[in-house]
Amino acid sequence: MAVVNLTVNGQAHTLDVDPDTPLLWILRDHLDLTGTKYGCGVGECGSCTVLLDGEAVRSCSLSVREAAAGAVTTIEGLGRDGLHPVQKAWKELEVPQCGYCQPGQILTAVALLDRNPRPADAEITAAMSGVLCRCGTYQRIGRAVKKASEGGGR
């Protein structure tokens, strides 16, 4: 065990934890932020995606030690002052079916649009392909990312 200082959703936390613990379990078990989902545990499905200094990362394969080097944003911290434009587009286009992958999908879309505010359809498909959707709502996901990039969902 060691003391780890972690910033999550703009709030500083001091935790006495094993620094090699995956960030996912710190978020869910220690900080009660359960919007970040466990999917595969090996960083392949994307359900556990969070933002670390604005970049989409897999929290199941990132240690809390590594995460402590930056600022973490979870789905709970996105749009704390109202819905983020990506969340608005998701809602307007009724993207979720079961919803399990949606936090990872939304945060991946936010990271994409922060890097590239006007991505082409192929860029959206490529960026979003790393987060698996068991329900197959990929077309709605793509339309929502496009809508958010065009200023829709605002």
- Say if residue 152's pLDDT is above 70: no
- Say if residue 154's pLDDT is above 60: no
pLDDT (average), residues 82-104 = 95
Tens of pLDDT, residue by residue over 107-147, are 999 999 999 999 999 999 999 999 999 999 999 999 999 99
The CATH number that domain 85-149 falls under is: 1.10.150.120
Residues of the chain with CATH 1.10.150.120: 85-149
Cβ-Cβ contacts under 8 Å for 17 (sequence gap 6 or more): 1, 2, 4, 26, 30, 64
Tell me the fold of 2-77.
Answer: Ubiquitin-like (UB roll) (3.10.20)
Residues of the chain with CATH 3.10.20.30: 2-77
Q: Count how many Cα atoms sit within 13 Å of the Cα of residue 17 in the half-sphere of its side chain.
A: 22
Contact 104, 37 (CB under 8 A): yes
pTM of the predicted model, to two decimals? 0.95
Locate 8 and state its tokens: 């999550």
